[in-house]
Amino acid sequence: MSDLSDRQWAILRAIARSLRERGYPPSVREIGKAVGLSSTSSVHFELNRLVQKGVLEKDPERPRALRLSAEGMRLLGPEGREAHGDVRYLPLVGRVTAGRPITAVENIEGYLPFPAARTPDDAFLLRVEGDSMILAGIYDGDLVIVEKTPHANPGDIVVAMTEDGEATVKRFYPDPARGVVRLAAENPNYPPMELATATVLGRVVGLLRFYDR
């Protein structure tokens, strides 16, 4: 959502800055001082508008406190995600087929929180479709945590872009002697893909599974 006024942008950034530097949101008076509003009722009005627009939400752990929503973090980019200190919000950027490659959808569908100490700085989430990686413990519908990097070691599980522009999750085996890259499934029903070129988009470093889906 991009229909925020200049003042609403300023309020959003003031909240993100306070969360990043102090670990908690600013008071209504502090927000007013930061954006040039002397009336607390005017600040409350703008805060309510930001909630209605979906960029702020109530914090269930702090009565009467507000926090950035996933949409607010998306709009602010790194500035918004850094506001959560020891929590890193990873973007869910699309779906990747583990059996038959499909083009990954690069628009961000949302964010999920992870411990910052356990996740790479430049990580993202992709949803897997298909059963070609089941022997590696990756099932249809799983979310894989991907460290964005163009480099991988032989045998790493990667998200790779094929020469046809399709993205897939496979084990990575470069074969420079033959001039090919082999992308191998973890399911005997799927033969390996041998390609002249394949671009590594990232290395799979973790997995998230919901049992009630």
- Which of 5, 41, 58, 132 is catalytic? The answer is 132
Segment 106-109 long-range contacts (CB within 8 Å, at least 24 positions apart)? 108/74
> Using an 8 Å Cβ cutoff, are 108 and 181 in contact?
no
CA distance 207 to 114: 12
Q: Which residue, among 63, 97, 90, 57, has the nearest Cα to 183 in the 3D structure?
A: 97
For this structure, is 27 an active site residue? no
CA distance 195 to 174: 10
Three-class SS string for 105-171?
A: CCCCCEEEEEEHHHCCCCEEEEEEECCCCHHHCCCCCCEEEEEECCCCCCCCEEEEEECCCCEEEEE
Pairing of β 110-115 and β 66-68: unpaired
> Using an 8 Å Cβ cutoff, are 161 and 102 in contact?
no
Rg (CA), the chain: 21
CA distance 5 to 102: 39
Catalytic residues, by residue number, are 132, 170
